[in-house]
Amino acid sequence: MKKSPVLLLVFLLISGLLGGVLGEILRIMAPQGMIQTIFSSNFSPGISPPLTIDLVLIKFTFGLALKINLLSLLGMFLGIYLYKNV
């Protein structure tokens, strides 16, 4: 099977999304304490506030924000591992 950069991006996106969803579920379901503190912390890089271009007739708003937690990072590493070994 030929490995392409597009396939790597697909692996990263799917595994990152699954890890992020699992992290949010664990954040909600975990009891108060150290585990919930670990899963509730996240890193949110992005454009804040969104860039707005007003041309009177039409207005464009551009924005991008990522919410990365511990399990989404672990999911991305798992996606890279699967990509290399599949």
Residue 63's domain comprises 5-85
- Count of structural domains within the chain: 1
Per-residue pLDDT tens over the stretch 9-54: 999 999 999 999 998 888 888 788 887 788 778 888 888 889 999 9
What phi and psi values does residue 71 have, to the nearest 5 degrees? -70, -25
- Angle of helix 5-29 relative to helix 70-85, nearest 10 degrees, comes to 150
What phi and psi values does residue 22 have, to the nearest 5 degrees? -65, -40
1: pLDDT confidence band, cut at 50, 70 and 90?
A: low
Query: In this predicted structure, what is the pLDDT of residue 32?
Result: 83
For the four alpha carbons of 40, 46, 48 and 51, in that order, the dihedral sign comes to negative
pTM for this one? 0.75
